[in-house]
Amino acid sequence: DVKVTQSSRYLVKRTGEKVFLECVQDMDHENMFWYRQDPGLGLRLIYFSYDVKMKEKGDIPEGYSVSREKKERFSLILESASTNQTSMYLCASSIGGEGSSYNEQFFGPGTRLTVL
Amino acid sequence: RKEVEQDPGPFNVPEGATVAFNCTYSNSASQSFFWYRQDCRKEPKLLMSVYSSGNEDGRFTAQLNRASQYISLLIRDSKLSDSATYLCAVNGRDDKIIFGKGTRLHILP
Q: What is the pLDDT of residues A28-86, one digit of tens each?
A: 999 999 999 999 899 999 999 988 989 999 999 999 999 999 999 999 999 999 999 99
Distance CA B64, CA B82 (A): 22
Residue of A nearest to B50 (CA): A104
Q: What is the DSSP letter of B58?
A: T
Buried b (16+ CB within 10 A) or exposed e, B55-84: beeeebbbbbeeeebbbbbebeebeeebbb
pLDDT tops 90 at residue B108: yes
Say yes or no to pLDDT of A107 above 80.
Answer: yes
B109 has a pLDDT exceeding 80: yes
CB-based contact, B46 to chain A, within 8 Å: yes
According to the model, what pLDDT value does residue B92 have?
A: 76
Q: Which of A40, A90, A101 sits opposite B97 (nearest CB)?
A: A101
pLDDT score, position B103: 97
Whether chain A has a CB inside 8 Å of the CB on B44: the answer is yes
